[in-house]
Amino acid sequence: MNKQDPISPAQGSTGLIRPLDDRYLDFLTDESGLTGRAESISFPVDEDQIRRIVTRLSKQRIPITIQGSRTGIGGGCVPTGGHILNLSRMNRISDKIERKPDHSTLCVEPGVTLSALQTYLSGTGLFWPVDPTETSASLGGIAANHSNGPGSHYYGPVSRYIRSIRIMDAAGETHLLKNRDRALCLGSEGMVGIILSLELILLPDPCEKWGVVFFFETDSQALSFCRDITNGRKSDHESVESRITAVEFMNHGLLESIRTYQARAPHLASLPDMGSGLSSAVSIEIHGTGPAPVEALLEQILEQAVHWGSDPDTSWAFSGDRELTRLKAFYHAAMEAVFFVSDQIRDPSLKKNRLRMEICCNKTSLVQDMARLNQEIEETQIRTAVFGHAGQGIFQAYFLPRTPDEYQRAADWINRRMNSQNRSWLKTAPQYGIGKTGLYPPGTAVVKAKKKEVDRLKKRWDPDDIWNPSNMKPMKSTDDPFETIGLSGADR
């Protein structure tokens, strides 16, 4: 091990549990912007090491925060004291794929990243349909947060593609979860046990893959296009030989953020230019059995795009896995750009946590619902980036406040919206974990339902509340999660 390796043991240290010193400060945070605290950290490489760590700490009732790649945006892996158990070195992939007529299975450890899995499957004729666009995300983290990604428009949620999960409870005992217990464990955010391995369900890799980004002058045009290609009769736009697998929307606030960020992000240099007069974008992905059916579907989609004002000369097109990595970079740039711009324009006195809200609206009234949302947001007079899975009516709204006054107005708006769940035209939808960012108050129906499921398993496997104990807990206020998790001003 290299002396500069941040996860190598401290000099002279032979134990599994290491003091949390300055070399491990990066492990106190994730993409949520929250920063926590911990007294110790470990990087086990196998099940035996995990059991030794768990057994020792559980006896002392020391809280354990389970971590993967720390790419989450809900703060679920940010520690609030105690010990960090980081699973990044549990990264083995089985050397045997179990092949079946309609699907195949593969066992992996939780620290395997999405990019490592994709590399492993290259050339096998198989793929894992789950792709939350962050290729450095760990598979254990994807399962813990129930992350889905753009492809869930066609392929469905991650729960369809994890057949079983092996976990370790707080007593060091292992359990193989299938069916209902497996489903409950997904999205439990590390609160019921440590994921030791996952059995993935793989599908035959589509022969033809395309991605196209259409640009529009207004959000209304872009959303009308989304509505028409997703709400029409399936036979109008899809067949057995070709299907739309993703429909992603990006509003004007997000495109402006990407333009600002792109100038300082060398890894985005390969993306084509976005015209300054274009306010919104819709990205479509198509999978098919061959070029002819995919091209036929693309022609229908192009007609709809032109009908709603998109100029074909401004669109981007990508084909094949290699080119599609550029489209994935564009997806991921959305989140990176929001974080970059937020940090650039924010007053230094503001807290670093992200002010966001996840929203679910009715697909049949998509344009009207989003217009009402935009009107409410515009009344706050705060810059906002909105993007998400338009095919499912699921979006994220990120506020980008510049001053303490704007920050407070944005927080107040989120709080009012959370307390107005009876509005049938728009609902909150935590698609990226509840975590500890304070976006979902405990009274919110979706949080109460999820917490009830998790508590049922915790009574069996974690009665002393050792695992990630601060997740899904009541917050003192929507805009200050740091108060709830006990961090001082110096730690913010």
Same domain membership, residue 187 and residue 153: yes
Same domain membership, residue 370 and residue 302: yes
User: Could you tell me if residue 7 is inside a domain?
Assistant: no
Same domain membership, residue 352 and residue 224: yes
Same domain membership, residue 179 and residue 47: no
Same domain membership, residue 367 and residue 315: yes
User: Could you tell me if residue 448 is inside a domain?
Assistant: no
Same domain membership, residue 419 and residue 379: yes
Domain end (from 428, 445, 477): 428
Same domain membership, residue 351 and residue 312: yes
pLDDT value at residue 2 = 37
Same domain membership, residue 252 and residue 338: yes
User: Could you tell me if residue 22 is inside a domain?
Assistant: yes
Same domain membership, residue 112 and residue 80: no
User: Could you tell me if residue 219 is inside a domain?
Assistant: yes
Same domain membership, residue 145 and residue 266: no
User: Could you tell me if residue 450 is inside a domain?
Assistant: no
User: Could you tell me if residue 451 is inside a domain?
Assistant: no
**Predicted TM-score of the model (pTM):** 0.85
The one-digit pLDDT tens for each residue of the chain (492 residues) are 333 344 444 433 347 999 999 999 999 998 877 889 999 999 999 999 999 999 999 999 999 999 999 988 778 899 999 999 999 999 999 989 999 888 899 999 999 999 999 999 999 999 999 988 888 999 999 999 888 889 999 999 999 999 999 999 999 999 999 988 898 888 888 888 999 999 999 999 999 999 999 999 999 999 999 999 987 544 455 567 899 999 999 999 999 999 889 888 887 887 888 877 788 999 999 999 999 999 999 999 999 999 999 999 999 999 998 899 889 888 888 888 888 888 888 777 666 666 778 788 887 888 998 998 888 888 889 999 999 999 888 898 889 988 888 888 888 888 777 666 555 555 655 555 566 755 554 445 556 677 777 888 888 888 888 888 888 765 443 334 333 333 333 333
pLDDT value at residue 476 = 40
User: Could you tell me if residue 445 is inside a domain?
Assistant: no
pLDDT value at residue 446 = 59
User: Could you tell me if residue 3 is inside a domain?
Assistant: no
* Close Cβ partners of 140 (under 8 Å, ≥ 6 residues apart): 68, 87, 90, 109, 110, 111, 112, 195, 198
Residue 126: give the domain boundaries.
Answer: 98-204
In the chain, the number of structural domains is 3
Domain end (from 428, 450, 475): 428
Task: Write the CATH number for 48.
Answer: 3.30.43.10
